[in-house]
């Protein structure tokens, strides 16, 4: 590409080698006697969200409610996520930091943990587009629908366009929601990142398949 591209990274299973909600479940349910039943229910809700039987926003909200999410869980979650960066992302963090002015993170997760985690890579909290939490009854936190652009179908593409990020744009991620950004024309190129998880249906659609950060950055 001629012009310097804007890089847009997914978070879960891309920058970090795990899914934040899975890590949150480990922390939230550590001492819960009904842990296995709750985890099974959360897996069901996740599956319903992924195959379209339940809207993304409701799927996210129900999982957060199952976890009784409260503010005290956020610091340990941030520490866990920051200890689980994808290996090549962590080893290549100086490269990422040096280009942080044109690196964005777009995620169906939440600002509340993504911002402090990506800061440890030298990336900019102000360059995160994701969902937000709000206080709810009983000291719990819940999804704030008015501030959660990525909690709707095709939300990533819509949010990227609304932010007016510079073109050309290269989207890097592991999942179908990342591919959708390319399909809807909100980026010029889609790099399927496979270091953490290799999803064959996503890789089949990608312009480039990359198993490391070096391979990703070589796709420009």
Looking at the Cβ atoms of 10 and 23, the one nearer to Mg ion is 10
Looking at the Cβ atoms of 11 and 29, the one nearer to Mg ion is 11
Looking at the Cβ atoms of 92 and 173, the one nearer to Mg ion is 173
Rule CB under 5 A: say whether 195 interacts with Mg ion: no
Looking at the Cβ atoms of 140 and 209, the one nearer to Mg ion is 209
x/- string (CB under 5 A) for Mg ion, residues 146-185?
Answer: ----------------------------xx----------
- In whole angstroms, how close is the CB of 185 to Mg ion at the nearest point? 20
Sign of CA dihedral 195, 104, 48, 77: positive
Q: Which of 5, 9, 13, 42 binds Mg ion (CB under 5 A)?
A: 13
CA distances to 41, 114, 138 from 82, in Å: 27, 10, 28
Whether a cis peptide bond, with omega within 30° of 0, leads into 168 is: yes
Stretch that binds Mg ion, among 6-14, 88-96, 139-147, 195-203 (CB under 5 A): 6-14
What pairs with residue 141 in β-bridges? 135
CA distances to 99, 117, 120 from 75, in Å: 27, 10, 14
Stretch that binds Mg ion, among 4-12, 94-102, 121-129, 199-207 (CB under 5 A): 4-12
Residues 17, 11: Cα–Cα separation, whole Å: 9
Nearest Cα to Cα of residue 130 among 4, 6, 9, 43: 9
Rule CB under 5 A: say whether 23 interacts with Mg ion: no
Rule CB under 5 A: say whether 10 interacts with Mg ion: yes
Residues 113, 61: Cα–Cα separation, whole Å: 16
Rule CB under 5 A: say whether 12 interacts with Mg ion: yes
Looking at the Cβ atoms of 68 and 158, the one nearer to Mg ion is 158
The residue ranges that bind Mg ion (CB under 5 A) are: 10, 12-13, 174-175
């Amino acid at each position: 590409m001629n012009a310097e591209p804007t890089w847009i990274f997914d978070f879960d299973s891309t920058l970090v080698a795990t899914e934040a909600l899975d890590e949150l479940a480990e922390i939230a349910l550590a001492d819960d006697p009904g842990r296995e039943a709750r985890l099974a229910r959360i897996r069901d809700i996740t599956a319903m969200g992924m195959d379209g039987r339940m809207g993304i926003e409701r799927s996210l909200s129900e999982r957060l409610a199952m976890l009784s999410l409260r503010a005290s869980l956020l610091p340990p979650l941030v520490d866990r996520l920051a200890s689980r960066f994808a290996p090549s992302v962590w080893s290549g963090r100086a490269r990422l930091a040096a280009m942080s002015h044109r690196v964005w993170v777009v995620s169906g997760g939440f600002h509340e943990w993504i911002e402090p985690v990506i800061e440890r890579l030298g990336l900019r909290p102000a360059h995160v587009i994701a969902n937000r939490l709000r206080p709810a009854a009983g000291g719990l936190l819940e999804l704030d629908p008015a501030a959660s652009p990525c909690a709707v179908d095709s939300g990533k593409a819509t949010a990227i366009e609304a932010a007016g990020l510079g073109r050309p744009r290269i989207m890097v991620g592991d999942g179908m929601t990342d591919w959708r950004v390319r399909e809807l024309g909100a980026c010029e190129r889609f790099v399927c990142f496979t270091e953490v998880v290799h999803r064959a249906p996503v890789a089949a659609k990608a312009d480039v398949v990359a198993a490391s950060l070096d391979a990703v950055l070589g796709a420009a």
